[in-house]
Amino acid sequence: MHLNKVVLIGTVVKDPQIRYAGAAQVPVTDVRVVVNRVWKSPKGEKREDAVFIDVVAWARSAETCVQYLKKGRMIGVEGRLTMDEWTAPDGKKNSRIRITSDRIIFLPQGEGRGQAAPEPDGSELEEMPASIPA
């Protein structure tokens, strides 16, 4: 048995933009998120590590992300890892791993964190198709 499940909390790096995929023109957006890890070195020095992650959201979830998410907003993401592979115009093969979201949670904003944005009601966060419709 295999399990492909990702859960993370991070900060939106830039405002998401909507685009449309497939013949059905399903809304899709990429949400770039940074996740930080802070620790102390053996010498007691504070260290910080940042990982930037691309999250893809589909259908109504994509529309809600574009409407409510802004740079600096904290979100929770549940989803699965997916591999994108493509060939560039110069013939070079490329690939990347990203998260295809099953659920995106808009986290409450603390004082001085992110930008104030209206909160969606929970009904707007229902989830998207498992793949690009043809």
DSSP-assigned letters across all residues of 83-109: EEEEE-TTS-EEEEEEEEEEEEEEPPP
Residue 131: the pLDDT is: 42
Q: What is the pLDDT of residue 5?
A: 97
Give the mean pLDDT of the chain.
Answer: 85
Rounded Cα–Cα distance for residues 15 and 115 (Å): 11
pLDDT in tens, 54-98: 999 999 999 999 999 999 999 999 999 999 999 999 999 999 999
Choice between 59 and 112, residue whose per-residue pLDDT is larger:
59
pLDDT recorded at residue 114:
46
Token pair recorded at residue 25? 């023109």
Around Cβ 125, how many Cβ atoms within 10 Å?
Answer: 18
Characterize 10-28 residue by residue with b for buried, 16 or more Cβ atoms within 10 angstroms of its Cβ, and e for exposed: bbbbebbeeeebeeeebbb
What pLDDT, on a 0 to 100 scale, did the predictor assign at position 128? Answer: 40
Q: Which CATH code, of 1.10.540.10, 3.20.20.10, 3.40.30.10, 2.40.50.140, is assigned to 1-79? A: 2.40.50.140
